[in-house]
Structure 1
Amino acid sequence: MDVAIVDIYSDSEADRMTGLAASRIAFGSYLRGLRTRSGKKPLAAGLEIDKSRQTVVRMENGYPTNASTNDIERLLEFYGASAQDREEALRLWGEVRSEEKIAQQQGDSRGYWQPYADQVAAHLPRYLRLEAAAHRVVSYQHVLVHGLLQTPDYRRAMARIDDPDLSIVDTERRVELAVRRQKRLNDTDFRLELLMSESVLRHQPGGPAVMAGQLRWLADAGRRDNISIRLIPFAAGSHKGLAIQPFTLVQFPALSSNVVDAPVVYLESGSAGVYHSKPDVVEEYREATDRIRAVALSERDTADIIVRIAKEYEA
C-alpha cells in the first residue's frame, strides 16, 4: 500500500492525548457510578455546583469541562460518597488534572481528529475519543471494511460515494484522518477483533482494483499479533449477525482495582451514532458477539478466502 501522508502529530503527542482521554473516561465513568447509586439526576447535580446539566453529562462522558476541584468535592458530598469512594474519585480527578497540565505544557492537547472535524459526521469525534482510549475493540461489520483497516484508495472511494462533489483536497484530508487513526494499530497493547460478513468482501467501492488492494491489505493485517479477522461465510446460513446492525464494542483498561470496567457499544446508522453503556445492553451485545463468533471461520481459513477473492479481482 503506497501511502504518501505526512503526520501532523508525533507519536509522543498521540500517546499523550490517548492518556488524557483515558483518564477523563475513567474519572467520568467512576463519577457517573457514584451519582447513579445516589439516585441523583444530572440536572440536580448541575444545580448543586451551579453548572448546567450538560456540564455534568459531558464530564461523565469523559469530555473536558470547566469544573474545578471544589466542584468535584461538592458533588461527592452531594452523592453521599463514602470515604473510600471519595479518595478514589479525587485520585482519578488528580490524574486528569495532571494529564491536562502536561498536555498544556507540551503543546496542543486536542485529539488528532480535530483538524478534520469538518470532514466527519458530528457524532464521530466522540467515537474516535473512545477508540483512542480503548485497549480492545471488537466489531461486527456486514457492509464495509472497518475504518481502522481501510486502505487509502478504499477510503477515497467511500468519500466519493458519500459526496460526489467533494474536492480533491478534502478527499485527501479524509484519507489523512484515516491514516492517523490507523496508527493505533501499531500499539501492541491495543487489540482489534473484526468479525466480518463475506458480503464485505463482495462489495466493490472503487471497483475490482481497489478491492484487490484492500483485500491484500486485510490479509497482511490479519497476520499481526494484535489483530484478529474472522469471516462469517454465506454458507453459515442463519445466524445472529443477520438480525443485528453493525456494532462496535469498545473496552477500556482498568486504571485501578477500584475502577469498574465500563465498556461502550457504538452503533453507526448513516449520519447518526448511538452509544450504549448500560450493563444490560452491553451484555446483550457481548452475547451477540459470542453467537457470531460461533459461526465465524478461523483466522487461517479467513485469510485463505480473502486472498482467493483478491485474486479474482486481479484477474
Structure 2
Amino acid sequence: MPAEGSTFARRALGQQLRTLRERAEVSQAAAARVLGISPQTMGRLEEGLSARSASDLYMNTLCNLYHVSDKERQLILALAHETRVTAKWGGGWWRPHLDRDITDFDPYAALEHQATRLTAWAVIRLPVLVRTPDYSRAVAWTDTPNAPTHHTEERVHRELKRQARLDDPDFTAEIILSEAALREEWGGPAVMAEQRQHLTELGQRPNISIRVVPFTTRNHIGASLGSFSLLEFPMMPKSRMTQPPIVHIEEHVGDLYLERSKEVARYTSAITELRRLASA
C-alpha cells in the first residue's frame, strides 16, 4: 500500500536518519530497540514510508543516540516537521533556498545521490553534474555577487563533490540541452570553450548521454518549459517497493518538487518529445 501524502519530505528525513545512524555505527535493530518499535517500522522510517514515526520525541531520542551536532538536530527536527505537515498533501513540495542556508542541507543533492537515473532539460544553465569548476564559479558569482569568496568556493566544492555520482556505472544521466545553454557565455569565451570540451568528453562515457535541441527547431515543447530534472530511483531493500520518480524545478528563491503521477507524466511526455528533437 502506498504511504500517505507527499513522499518527498519523508524520503529526505529517512535518508538523513540512515546517514547519521551509519556514521554512529548503530545497527537498525539497536535504534529500533531504543525507540521501542520493531525493526520493520524503523526500516520504513528510514525508507521514507512512514510519517507516523516522525514525532519530535522519536527524533530527539535518535539524535541523542547518534550524538549529532546542534545543526544536525535542527535539520532532523525541521524535516520531521515538514514530514508531518506534508502527510496531508497529495504530492509535491516547495522548499525555499533560505531553508538550505539555515541547515546547510540540499534535499535535491541527497535525492540525486540515491537516484539511479537522471534526465535533465536545461535551457540556459547547464546541470550541476556536468559543469566545470570555472563554469560553476561564474554561475555562483552571478547568483550571489556580494558573497564572500570562501562562500563561493564552498558552493563550487559542493557541486564538484556531487559530480562523483557520474563515476557510478549503475547511474545513468541523460542531459538534453537547448542550444542557448551552449551559447550563453558564463565566465566568458575561454570558460565556455573548456566547458564545451568537457561536455564532449563526458558524452563519450557509456552511462552519460548529452544532446542538443538546436535553435532551428521550431514550436517545440521545450520552448514553453523551464529547466527541470526527472529523478528515478531503485527498489528499496527492506520493503522491496520502488520509490516514485520526482520532478525537480529550480527557481531563483526555491525549489519545487513534483511527484503526483499525472504531473510527472506530463514531464515524461515532454522528455519523449525532446529526445525526438535533440541531435547527438
TM-score by shorter chain over 0.5: yes
Extract unaligned runs of 5+ from structure 2.
18-30, 48-61, 73-96
State how far apart, in whole Å, the 1-side matches of 2:264 and 2:36 are. 31
| Equivalent position SS for 1:93 | helix
Deviation at 1:243? 1.0
Alignment of 1:166 with 2:150, yes or no, is no
> Which of these two proteins has the greater Rg computed from alpha carbons?
1
| Equivalent position SS for 1:235 | coil
Deviation at 1:61? 4.7
Extract unaligned runs of 5+ from structure 1.
1-29, 37-41, 43-55, 74-86, 111-119, 299-315
- 1:181 maps to what in 2? 162
- 1:151 maps to what in 2? 132
1:187-241: per-residue Cα shift (whole Å, max 9, x none)?
1111110010000011001110111111111111111111100100011111110
State how far apart, in whole Å, the 1-side matches of 2:8 and 2:203 are. 38
- Larger helix fraction of residues: 1
- 2:219 maps to what in 1? 238
When residues 164 and 194 of structure 1 are mapped into structure 2, their CA distance, relative to the original with a 3 A threshold, is same
RMSD over equivalenced CA pairs, Å: 3.4
In the TM superposition, 1:161-310 aligns within 5 A as 161-255=142-236, 258-298=240-280
State how far apart, in whole Å, the 2-side matches of 1:160 and 1:274 are. 23
- The size of the alignment, in residue pairs, is 219
| Equivalent position SS for 1:275 | strand
**Of 92, 107, 116, the match for 1:135:** 116
When residues 233 and 121 of structure 1 are mapped into structure 2, their CA distance, relative to the original with a 3 A threshold, is farther
Alignment TM-score, normalising by the size of structure 1 = 0.61
When residues 140 and 71 of structure 1 are mapped into structure 2, their CA distance, relative to the original with a 3 A threshold, is farther
| Equivalent position SS for 1:188 | coil
State how far apart, in whole Å, the 2-side matches of 1:270 and 1:285 are. 20
Percent identical? 32
State how far apart, in whole Å, the 2-side matches of 1:60 and 1:221 are. 30
| Equivalent position SS for 2:279 | coil
Which structure has more RCO (C-alpha within 8 Å, separation ≥ 6)? Answer: 2
Alignment of 1:122 with 2:99, yes or no, is yes
**Of 36, 40, 44, the match for 1:93:** 44
| Equivalent position SS for 2:229 | strand
Alignment TM-score, normalising by the size of structure 2 = 0.68
1:266-300: per-residue Cα shift (whole Å, max 9, x none)?
011112100011111111111111011111112xx
1:107-138: per-residue Cα shift (whole Å, max 9, x none)?
xxx8xxxxxxxxx7635711111101101000
Deviation at 1:251? 0.5
State how far apart, in whole Å, the 2-side matches of 1:235 and 1:145 are. 20
State how far apart, in whole Å, the 1-side matches of 2:254 and 2:182 are. 25
